[in-house]
Every structure is written in structure tokens, then in C-alpha cells.
Amino acid sequence: MIIKPTSALRTELGEITKICKERSEPVYLTKNGEGELVVMSIAAFERKEAMLNLRAKLLDAEQQRLSGAPTCTTDDLRKFVKDLHHEQV
């Protein structure tokens, strides 16, 4: 974990940018010793967003399954894909 004061944005922006991009980790910025901001690369942010979206979808699917929504087995899915493939050929 990298922690720097917010004043480092003015004096060390290039270094902070390099850390975020090369290490793919955020830099935590503090003001008066308290957490203030987190800076991260766009790539790291997009990965985190994708992960959070996937978790939300998985949670939704699990809630639907627990509430009795119809499900299928992996064998059912294989048969469906195989049948779909044969229809296209």
C-alpha cells in the first residue's frame, strides 16, 4: 500500500502516475494524516468495476436460485448448446 500526502499531487504527479500504471495499484492520499483520496489507473479502475459488476450479477443469480427460479444442470446446458449447434449446421 502506497500512502502519500495530497501535496504530492503537485510535486510528484509523474511518480504517482507511474506507480499507478506500472504496479496496477492505487495510491492513497492523506490530508492532515487522514485518508482523503485514492488515485488509480483507468485500467485498474475498469478491472475493479468489472469485478464488482460480475459479483452483483452472481449475487442476483444466487438470490434467484434460492427463491426457486428454474435452473438447469451442466448436462442440460451441454445438450442445449449441442442442439443449437446442430440447428445451425
Residue spans per domain, the chain: 2-40, 45-88
The pTM (predicted TM-score) of the whole model is: 0.69
Each residue's pLDDT tens digit, 5-58 = 999 999 999 999 999 999 999 999 999 999 999 999 999 999 999 999 999 999
Half-sphere exposure (CA, 13 Å, Cβ side) for 5? 7
The dotted CATH code for 2-40 is 3.40.1620.10
Q: How far apart are CA 79 and CA 56, in angstroms?
A: 28
The whole-number pLDDT of residue 88 equals 77
